[in-house]
Each structure stands twice: as C-alpha cells, then as structure tokens.
Structure 1
C-alpha cells in the first residue's frame, strides 16, 4: 500500500475487493435498490475527495492520502469487526496491536447508525483513534467525557429536535402527535422534541413507538390512536424503512395526516415510498444542509465494470442501474434472474438520471466529503507544526492522540464557501434545510427546499421558511390547523379545562374593566382608571366625561325652564305693585308678598348654578345659594302664616296680641329664620366645603364630574331645616284653615306647604337611586317643582281675582265675608 496515512471507512457501502473483505448483499432483497445507489455514491464521494486532495500540490505536499473501505451491511457485529481490522491492519482482529506498521492510520469515517457509533467509539477511545461519523446524530455522542475521540459532520439530534419543535410552533400547530422508532435515535430524539414542545406551551396529543421487532411495526395500534386523536400533525422520528407499514395501515383505515419528518427520512428516495405518494405529499421535514461538490458528477461517470479496483461492487451497481446481467458471471444481484438483457459494458452512465448521478442537492454525500477534508486539514496542521524543541509529531509516524489534538482545532472553508469546524462537543455548526414533499410534473416525488434552520445565523435569522412555497396534502397553500381548542380572539382569555392539557381550554370573556389585545391571551389587562374597554374588550378607550351641561338636551330643557319660570314671580310682582292699594293685596301683607315673590324668582334661577361643568366656585355656592333663597322663601310663608293667626286672635275682646300684628314682627321672623340657615351654611363651608371630583365608582364606564358635598350631614341638615320651617308653616296653616273667609290665605299656605314637603320628601329616594348627571337633574326638578307649587298655591287665586274678578277685590266684598285683615 505504500507509505501514506490512511483514512478508513465504515458503513453500509461496498469495500474494495482487493482487501479481501467481501460485501454482504443479503439485504438487497429487503431494501430498495435506489436507496443503495444513493449510498454507493457516498463511497464514490470519498474516493473523489481523496483523489482531489492527492491531486492538489498545495494540500499535504509530498504526502499521498489513501483509504480502506469495509462494508458492514449496517450490522453491528460487522461494524465492530471492521473497526478492529482497520486498527489491527490485517484481515484478522488482533486487539491491542497495530500490525501494519508501515501505514499510519489517521482516522475512521463511519458508521452511519448512532448505536453502532456509540459502541465503536467506546473501543476506539482506548487507542485515541478519531472516529468521524457522517450520519450518526444521537445527542449521547456529544458527551466528550464518554466519547473523547468522536466527531461528526452532521448536527446532533438535540438541534434537530429543537428545529422540529420550532417548525411546528412556527406554523401555529399546538396539538401534535409523536411517533418514534424504539431505538436510541428515535427515543432520544422524540424526547427532546416533546421537551421543546412542552416548554413552548404546545401540547402532545399522543406519543407512540414504532416497534421494530414486529413485522407490522405496531401499525394497527398506532393508526388507531392517530384516528381517534384530533391532532392533524404527526412528528415521526424514524428511519424510512419503518414507514411503509404505517402508511399502509393509514390507507387501510382511510386517514390522512400532515407528517413531519426527521432527518433520517426527510429526503429518502426509497422506491417503496412512491406507492404512498398521495399520502406523503405535503410532508415537511428537516434535512441535513445540502451542498455541491464541483466535478463530482464527472467523476461518478468514470466508473466502469472493467475497472479492477472495486470491480465486484461496480458490476452490482451496473446491473442495478441498467437492468441487465453480465453473462460471464453469475448474476451478482439475484434480482434480474428472469431478465434476458445482457450487460455489454458499453452502456452510457452519463445518460442515466437517478439518485447516484443527481448531484444537485448533496446531503449525506456532502457530509462524507466534508469528513475527508476535515481529516486532511488536521493532517496538514500536524505536518506544518512548528513547536520549538522538536515537540512536533512526525507526519510519517504519529500517534492517534496527536492527530486528535489537531482535529479538535480544525477550521477551514470548502470551495463552496462553507466553513467547517467542530465545537467542544465534536459537533459541526447546526444547519438544516426545511424541505416539502411535492409531486413533480412527471408524477415523481421531489423534496423542495422551503426554508432553513441555521443555529449559527444572527438572531432573528435562525429560522426562516417560505410558507407560500409549501404545498399541503389537501392541495391548498393555506396552512392547515392542528389545535385542541380554537384560538381565543382578542377580548377573551384562555381558561384551562380541568384534567386536560393546557392546549385544551375554553375562551372566557374578559371581566368588566379589563381587555385582552392579543389572540390566545392567558390573562386580561386592567384598563387605567380613566379608560374603559371598547365593546369588543380589545382596547382601552378614554372614558366619556359626564356632567349636566347646557349642550345636553336635558340641561337645555332645565335651563330654559328655570329662566322662563323665574319670570313668572316677576310678572306677579308687577301685578301686586300695580294693584297694591287694592284690598286683596293689602289683606295678604303686601311687603311680605313682594319679598316672597323676589325669593321665588331667585329659587327658579338658583337651579342654573347646578348646570354646567362643576367648577370649584360652582360647587362651593350652589347648595348654599339654594338653601338660603329657599330659607327666605319659606320664612316669608311662615311669617305670613303666623301673622294670620295673630291677626285673628287680636280681634278678640281683651286680647293683648294687637302689637304682634305689626309688619315689623314678620320681618324679624324672616330675618331670624334666614339667619339660622345662614349660620348653618357658613359652618358647612368652613368645616367641609363642597369641591369638584371625578367619580368612577358609580358608573365604571364613565367619569362623572360632580360636586362632592364635603359633608353629607351638613347638606341634609340644611335640607332638613327647610323641611322644619315648611312643616311648622303647614301645621299652623292647617290649624288656621277654618278662620273666616277674610283670612282664607291659610288654606293656600296649607296646600303650598303640603306640595312643597311632598316634592322634597319624594326627592330623597329619587336622588339616592339616580346616578351621575341625573342626580343633579333630580335636584333641579325638585327646585322647580317646589317653587312652582309655592307660586301656584300662593298667588294663582289672588292674580285671578285681581285680573279677572275685580268686583271681588273690594272692601265691601271683604266685609260681607267677615272682618278685614289689618294691613
């Protein structure tokens, strides 16, 4: 073999016949040929990489790189045997010895199965031989304490699992089924997927194992579970060989699901899967990042059955590719026994279009190519070592651990610009393609790249996908839905159902005063004190401000009524002034009547202070103004009532009450009664004066601008004092109602006070039940109603007589009815 470092290959690929290690071909009847063609191209990629390196004088100058190839048939025992033979250097196993002393063994590439890599790596660590796998993805192999000499050119399943979880979550699927093959690859990978899904808040509807020890792979039970579940998306962590039984059962039970493929089958070319094309359309998977190898296609076409090196495997490949048979040999494949076509060797390989010749999207092949270049770069770094004191290893005679040191530090770029290096765990940068299974125009299945998952990309660019390029199994472009419960729209929050996963929930409207401005909110947000949700409870809007304004229809009506009503006492006052010399005006105490009419006019006008924006001055004066003018008004009526009684009693023989009938007595009474109200109001303003406030408690949807009375007790005391004066007037007038007709004003006073008290007694419950501006409107209405009661009851009859029955407004008429009333 000569003096050169050797890269050994372990995998399910043909070995070179000159090594005396013959391939195992028993599996060809079990696995489709097209898959073998794809894997055979990986061996050719290794040959191409070695030839490329040896042909480049700038790489490992004066050193020739060689290789050995062993076919393990993906059998664990064969992988182990092949590894030990490579280490020993002969076609037999001699543990702890390297018999081929003239050849430096640099590293071993393979095996492809994670379980096999774990075992082989455990053995090779004893010798510190680097083991570089092109396909083993188990996260266990990232443990450098257990596997210090293991490297790989494909990412760990830890990254793939996260990528699969991110994929389903990015597409809005939160209710997902999981299927996994019952080996290290499937169980470890699916556990990581489930962890990522759970941590993201999504849910696993079911998780089932594909039992490889059973011929049907437990398909009837698995598909039954899939059919019973509402999950429309199923993540499958398995190998392509395990899928046909599952797909057959899905067809049998007439169900379709969106399948999410792990890297082990996301780009498979197994011929048997073409039978299920209709069910596999729309499948999305994560695949190893594809690459291109310039010149590989031409190199692949150079093989020919006449070649001595690897002739045995080339003839098998030739028979499978051209569906022919070499007559001079026994049928190599055992596959075309009924064929009459003879392989001539003149067939044109360049005209063939199959997996072997397709170099447009190389994945596993590119991984093998990368592994060879990684070893070469480590050898070159070892050769160019420049440590002082002669501590550098000899390229012609180095120990495995010395190359291992350089392999850990490898960092270089391939011709297509891709950077190659290993992290501290021996893993390469995690870069995946996201592929979608679509039918090609000729009816075949094609794997269309629709996105990428690059853990080395800048934040925000790690996960990219073109959803519009995806074709689903329904033939639509719109992303299907797979949820346990439909999304809660804004304005609702998700309430979990008891005993069910968090993805199964019911949508509950947000409570009063709270909003949810996003879909699928877990909680509602309380609006600020001055804002209130809209009708959909999706946004907070400023609360309407409410007060009784002049622009408000109700405020306009009340203001107009107050202004017009205030003119009525003024008109009556003019009548009284005009007819002040008439007996009926004199009989009703002209001076008190004028004061009463002025007070009543102000009673109507004081209601205007209650309308408009509650300013501090308005709040301070409106109740006090109301209390004072009504106190003067009721005091006048009380004085008139008592004066009537005194006048009648003074006419009795021997009465000493004549002096109490003087008009000045009535003025003193009005002054004293009004003074008490004035003192009460001043005390109120001094201790707890009213002030404007924003009320958000009465009606949470509104901000009611109102006057806080400061002291409710003072307010009700003021109102109660008015009630006391009115009650006294009512009682006295009621007792004097049967006096002679000349003094029949007592009857009108009785009715006026009865009406006055009725209005304000009714106001108490009405004001308690009213809210906001209607509370103010109720008080204005009470003011107007009670004022009108006094006007009508006290002056309507007198004005009627004065204006329309002047004959009754004479002294003679009054004498007929009784003795006159002193002026």
Structure 2
C-alpha cells in the first residue's frame, strides 16, 4: 500500500514539475487515476473509461470534448498490463509501464504501442545466468511462482544457465499454499538437493509463505538469487530471517534521484489534496487512526475514541517509518518519473515540429492540441533524453529501455539488522545478450562468510584427470578419470579429454605436462656398463696371460701335444671375443651397430672353428693309429687350419650378405619402455641375425657331438673330455640367451648379449686351458713325455702286448696309445 501510494505521488509530482518548468509552453498536462485493484477486469474497465471518456464505456466510441488522451502510465504488475496493452494497441495509444517486466510484452506485433521504463525479464533472466557464471556456480536450483512473470522468467533462466555450461539441480513451481503436499514436496527437494544456489523468480506475495516455512524448518547455508519481484521487499528484514536470507544476491532496477520529491512527500496532507481518493485510506493505515464518519452520533464518536484514535489530518507525516517517505531508494517511483518524462519529451518533439519538416504525409506535423494517438506513438518510438540525475532514457525497437540492474546483497548490519546493500551493477549494452558485471562492494554470504560459496554437482577434475559423464546425469555430474600413461590434461580444471604426448615426450607424474623422455642406452658411465666393460677387459687380460704362458712354454710336451698353432689361434680369438663385447657399450652409432654383431659373429665363429678343428684332429689322431688307416694322410696342421678357415669364411660370407642388403642401424625405440627412448641398434634383418647365430650354434653343436663321442678314447691326457665340457657350457649359455634376449628390452637386452658373450667365452677359456695351465704352472712334474704317454708303455714292461705308433712326423708331439688285449 505505502509503496504503491508513493508511485501515485511520483506521477503527480512529475506532472507538476513538468508543468512548472514550462517544458511545454502553453500546454498543461493533466491526469486521471484508476485503481485496478490487481484485477484484469478492473484494469480493462479503467482503460475503456480512459479511451471512451465516459463511465459507461462503449467500444470504438469516444465521447470527450476536452484535451486528447496522450498516453497511459501503468499498470504495475505483468499480469495486469497485458490485457490493457492489447486494448490500447488497437487504438495505437502509447502505454508506458513502470513495473511490468514480462518478456511477452516486447512482442511488437501483439503489443504495438507498449513501452516500459522497467527492463524486460528476458534481460533479468540472462543476468541471472551471467551471475551464475561470474561466481563460478555449476549446480543451480530453480523456483518460480505460477504467474506469467515467474514461469516465463524462469524458463529463460533455465535456458541461459544450460547454455552457459551449468546444470539444473531441480526446477519447482511455487503455487499458492493451498495444498500441504505440494509445499512439503518443494521443501524436501531443497533439503535433499546438494546445490547451494537457488534462483527464485517470483513476486513477494508468492515467495513469503514459502520463505516463512523455510525459516521454520531452519534451512540455511543456501545462496538465494532473488528476482526483482521480491529482492528489495522489506518483509524479509525481520530478525527471524537473519540466518536464512542473509547472503542473498538480488537483481533490482537501478535506483534514481528525483530532486525535491522528499520535500513534496512531507507536504502530503488530506487538507492539501481533497481530490485524492486514496489519501484517507493511506492516512488511516499510516497513523493507525480512523476518520470519523460524517453525521455520526456522539456515542459512535466516543466508541471510536476508545478503540481507535480518530484521524485529524494534522498528524506529523515526517514521523512515519514506512516505505512511503523513503526517497533514498527510488526505483519503481523513479520509473514512473521517467515514464512521464518520456511522454512529455515526445509531446515536446511533436510541439517543436516545423511545418514542412514533419514526419507524416507530405511532411506535415501533428496538431499538439488535437493529435491522433498514432502520431504521438511515432515520437515515443524515437524519444531520447537524459534526466536531471544523468540517466539516459530511450526505447529500443521492442519498446524496452536501456537495461541496467543494481546488484544487491542482503547483509547483517552491526546492529544485527538485515538490510539489502547495493554491491554492484549489471549493465547490458545495446546489443542483446551482452552484459558487464561490476562488483564494487564486498559481499557477505550466508553465515557472514566472505569466500564465494561452492555449488557443484561434482568437484572439478584437477590437471591430470579428465571428465567422464555419468549415465543418466546432467553434464555437470561426472567422475574424474586419471589420464592414461603417456597422456596429459593441462587445463586448469575440468578437461574433457586427455592429450597424447608427442613420441619423444612422456607425461610427468602428475600427468599435467609432457616432458622429454629419458634417453637410455648401455653407457660406460652406467654402473652396469662399467662393470661389464671392466669384466671384459679383465677376461681379455687373462686370455692374454694364458697365451703368453703357452708361448713361453711352447716347447713343453703338453703345449705340443695340444696342437700348438690351433691353441694360439684359439687364445687370440678368445681375447678378441672378450674385447668385442666393448662394441656393445656406448651410444649406438652407424659404424658401431654394423661392427658389433659382425665382429661378434666372425670372431666367435673363429673360436668355435678352432675348437671344432681340435676335436676333429683328436678323433683323426686316434683313428689313424689303426692298421691300414687311410686317415693318416689327414693328420697334420694343414687340415686343422683348413677347417678353421672354411668355417670362418662361411660366417664372413653370411655377414657380408647381411651388411650388403639390410645392415644394422641405430634407432630410437620409443615404444618398448614407458617414458624412455631406448637408443639401440636395429638388426636390419632379423633373418640374417639369426642365420649368423644359427650357424655359430651349428658349429658348437657339431663340436660338442664330436668331442662327446671322443671323450672315452684312451690316453693319459685326452683333450676331448675338456672340449666336451666347454661345448656343453657354450651351448647351454647360448640356449639360455635366446629367451632372455627376447624377453628383455633396452639396455638390458644389450647386457644379456654381453653376458652371454663373456660367459660362453670364459667357459671355453676355463674348460680347455685351465687344466693345461694347472699342469704347466703348478705341476711341472707332469709336463713330460712319460706322463703324457704313460709309464708302462714307454718302458715296455707291461704284461700285455703293447704297440706304439708314432703319429705323423710333422705333428708337434708323440702320443702314446695303449691297447690292452682281453
């Protein structure tokens, strides 16, 4: 009542101000006020009174001789202006509403003469979505009353919020509390929901019953986003609302200043405004008094004095503490002020029209004292002015004003009083949908918190994770899945997918950035590489020492008896075998990749060929002693050297073909080990590699078989036994090498091959030459012909028949063969 009565006086004040300012020379504005009582029928009836000029309205008939109807200011609420706007639109009579915000009224085809100084709810709805984005909220609840204001407004809010990337937790309608079931459902939804932010798009009358129940049920910790229908209603300043409403963010129309309006209100008295049909009702409500009825009897007057004090009309209006006198927060009253001025400026533009320069047919002007409504409508569409307090007023093509909202925050004052405080503004540019939010005051959230509340369905996924939608849930409800190995998400939050790192990079531990992969190869600086290198050199030195021993004692029987030239070649090849493993250590290069396998294959083939030649020579030597044996001509160094050369040349040919067709080359292996680049040698042709290895294995197996068959040949020092064992070690090592080599990756694969080289070579060295070195160095008494040939035979004192056969004179030693007769 008090607020709406202030609106009436803002209309009267503005008209009087315009008339006194001589803005329209020789023209006086007048007004007629009709009370719609918030009913569409009454509003329509009052409109017909204005249009027809008589109390018994007749459609399409006007009966008034006085000044023409210029425009209609009002009505207030959205449901009331709609039928009024339809009616006035048929007659093209301008209508300017100061409080109707429903978006439907922006339709110029349906409401061609409707204007407003109140922003459209479409902008307010978009503004709520902008606020949600501004504060980073993703999980929003929606409440709206069942009026056109609430339903149309909340639908746009919903669309804009979803379009902005946030989600709707629930959307409920606030009906008039006539059903307990409906209201309790709304409260259960609010309490059950995890959202902390709820938009309420409704008028105060529909919100109050629900808020009262929310207070009763002690639902706190929520951030309420209030539409302009209730955001500044002082009903919510009561103490019981402190815990519930504090922290509420609301949008309301921008307030303005009306110079002199406060003074004008202080001079509103019944005696000064006898024609004011509302002042007596206002006076009774404001001062809690009762006007005595005219011609009432004295007893009635006495009863009135006893129960309620009588109104005198002289009460001090300045003592009132209600909205009527509050001129410091003019919003809707200011809209009335600008609406009247919009009509006045349009009339002035019409008045200032110069004949021959007018906007109508034949460039004529309208007659200011007898114009048609559609002529003033033309000027209303193009009106543009600035008020005394600097507010710019104009209408767009939809009849909507330049839109600026004040953002208010309900805060608890130091006096423990709840009041709303302007904290910023929401300013829309001329382009629809564009806006800027300015927060220039601190915000106090519910519970006197200064940190922005959190409202999400799911917590944001940190870097290194991606969002995975939950089936049947809104997009804001998701699980956070760690990125796969080798993938990253480097957004600050909420990455929708993980990005694969480049081939030469890998994800770090947090999986939020790609880092260069560690380059790995068997280096000399590596502990394992250094150990193998030292071991290779040590074994090579041992082999050299053995070779030196054999050279020094080359004329002793044990050295002669073991084919001295083959022993030298074998020891030298063993030295090279040990040293060839060094080619496998270090950063792979083209030359080292080509040389390492070829050198290894050829040198090992040479070593095994020497062992094979030794074995064959042992067998031939023993079988050549038989009578009439044809093998005697094969006994000698030439056969042994030929075997070594032929077997080695075959391996050389295999390696030459390999190098000529598909040679080994260095490569960067980025797939075999996670997070590493393995620098290794690609064999080029695995077939050639395994042919080389297979040929070497064939030589070893043949040597093993030959030595195994010759292991039981008689003799004090039969070398076949040691060759058998050495070949057994050699074959075992390389058979174990195959699965180990195929199951390892990177530098460990190279280490396995080096170990196989060292182990097999050491096996040959130890098994073949350690017995000989033992005799040479530790048992020199056994290093003589008698020990090697056997005492009994050499002295010819054995009881059995004995036969000595001297091997070919070119051989380097005599070998005594004992044949016992059964």
* TM-score, length-scaled by structure 2: 0.90
Asked if the contact 1:211/1:217 (under 8 Å) is kept, the reply is no
CA contact (8 A) 1:323 1:336 kept: no
Map of 1:554 onto structure 2:
528
Deviation at 1:215, TM superposition (A): 7.8
Aligned counterpart for 2:396 among listed residues 417, 423, 445: 423
* Alignment partner, residue 820 of structure 2: none
**Taking structure 1 as reference, are residues 273 and 509 closer, same or farther at Cα in structure 2, changes over 3 Å only?**
same
- Structure 2 residue corresponding to 1:265, chosen from 209, 212, 230: 230
d(CA) in 1 for partners of 2:495, 2:340 = 52
C-alpha distance in 2 between matches for 1:62 and 1:289: 34
Tell me, yes or no, if the aligned pair for 2:425 and 2:439 is still in contact at 8 Å.
no
TM-score (norm 1): 0.90
* Residue of structure 2 aligned with 1:494, choices 467, 486, 495: 467
**1:783 corresponds to which residue?**
757
Q: For the residues of structure 1 that align with 2:136 and 2:532, how far apart are their CA atoms?
A: 60
Q: What does residue range 518-597 of structure 1 map to in structure 2 within 5 Å? A: 518=491, 519-597=493-571
Matches within 5 A, 1:156-195: 156-195=120-159
Paired with 1:315 and 1:274, the residues of 2 have a C-alpha distance of: 31
In structure 2, relative to structure 1, the CA distance for the partners of 1:501 and 1:269 (3 Å cut) is same
Task: Tell which structure's C-alpha radius of gyration is larger.
Answer: 2
Asked if the contact 2:602–2:652 (Cα under 8 Å) also holds between the matched residues in 1, the reply is: yes
Residue in 1 aligned with 2:202?
Answer: 238
Deviations 1:422-468 (A, max 9, x none): 11111122322221111233343311223322221899993425498
Secondary structure of 2:617's counterpart equals helix
| Counterpart mapping for 1:667-678 below 5 A | 667-678=641-652
Question: 5+ residue gaps in structure 1?
Answer: 1-35
Equivalent residues in 2 for 1:232-631, closer than 5 Å: 232-256=196-220, 257-270=222-235, 275-308=240-273, 310-324=275-289, 338-340=307-309, 343=312, 345=314, 347=316, 349=318, 352=320, 354-386=322-354, 387-388=356-357, 389=362, 391-456=364-429, 462-464=435-437, 466=439, 469-518=442-491, 519-631=493-605
Over residues 116-151 of structure 1, what are the superposed CA-to-partner deviations in whole Å (9 max), with x where a residue is unaligned?
Answer: 211111111111001111111111111111111111
1:466-489 per-position Cα deviation (integer Å, ceiling 9, x unaligned): 498222222322233333333333
Distance 1:674 1:127 in 2: 116
Please say if residues 237 and 419 of structure 2, whose CA atoms lie closer than 8 Å, have aligned partners that are also in contact.
no
Could you say what secondary structure the match of 1:477 adopts? coil
CA apart distance, 1:165:
2.4
**Root-mean-square deviation (Å):** 2.8
Structure 2 gaps, min length 5: 794-803, 813-822
Structure 2 distance, partners of 1:551, 1:528, is: 28
Q: 1:67 aligns with which of 31, 49, 66?
A: 31
Q: Distance in 1 between matches of 2:591 and 2:275?
A: 108
Say if 1:219 and 1:249, in contact at 8 Å, map to a contact too: no
Question: Could you say what secondary structure the match of 2:168 adopts?
Answer: strand
* Residue in structure 1 matching 2:778, options 797, 804, 807: 804
**Matched residue of 1:191: which SS?**
helix
* Contact 2:7/2:336, CA 8 A, preserved across alignment: yes
Shift in CA distance, 685/69, structure 1 to aligned 2, threshold 3 Å: same
Partners of 1:745 and 1:102 in 2: how far apart?
145
- Bigger Cα displacement from structure 2, 458-467 vs 85-94: 458-467
**Structure 1 position 723 matched with structure 2 position 690:** no
Q: Deviations over 1:217-247 (max 9, x none)?
A: 9423321332233333322111111122212
Q: Partner residue of 2:707?
A: 733
When residues 76 and 581 of structure 1 are mapped into structure 2, their CA distance, relative to the original with a 3 A threshold, is same
CA gap 1:458/1:792 in 2 versus in 1, 3 angstroms:
farther
Correspondence for 2:661: 687
* Deviation per residue, 1:19-50 (Å, 9 max, x gap): xxxxxxxxxxxxxxxxx222222222223322
Range moving further from structure 2, 699-708 or 186-195: 699-708
- What secondary structure does 1:304 align onto? coil
Matched residue of 2:495: which SS? coil
The structural deviation recorded for 1:678 is 0.9
Distance 1:243 1:335, change over 3 A: farther
CA pair 65-198 structure 1, distance change in 2 beyond 3 A: same
